Amino acid sequence: MAEDPGNTELIVRNMVCDRCRSAVGRVFQELGIPVRHIDLGEVELREALPADMWPRLRHALQMNGFDLVEDQDARVITKVKTEVVRRVHHEAGGRVDLAALVRDTVHRELSSVSKLFSEVEGMTLEHYFLLQRLERVKELIRYGEMTFSE
């Protein structure tokens, strides 16, 4: 759970781009919370947070459109969604093996994560993945990096 006093790995919802990473970094800096590493959807702290800091951190993140993910199922889904976004939007094209992505990201099988994803998100993981790919193609066309024929 995020508010576990010994927890130094936090999962942050809605952190999907480099600008988000910078915004989250500023929140931690402004609160004086030492950070070891910030990646899309994740923040690793240098040390555990004192109990009185959790509400301030949560509020500051929410004021910037982010939130801490506490529930274990929500953590799994957020990690998978963040990795899908990272692979689709931030890495060079190429085929993505969704089963391998899930295994590498959350160390679970695609079938169990896909079922959980469907129950919580109301769509399959595969559908979410396709929607992200579609958004990426629309983005590439919009900015002239790709044509319809490509």
Q: Mean pLDDT in each 10-residue stretch from start to end of the chain (150 residues)?
A: 65 89 96 94 92 94 94 91 89 82 95 94 94 89 74
Task: Give the pLDDT score at 2.
Answer: 47
Candidates 29, 104, 108; CA nearest to 61 is: 29
pLDDT attached to residue 150 = 64
Contact 9, 47 (CB under 8 A): no
Which pLDDT score is estimated for 1? 44
- The pTM of this model reads 0.72
In whole angstroms, give the CA distance from residue 99 to residue 97: 6
Pairing between strand 42-45 and 9-13? Answer: antiparallel
Assigned CATH topology for domain 9-68:
Alpha-Beta Plaits (3.30.70)
What confidence score (pLDDT) does residue 140 get?
82
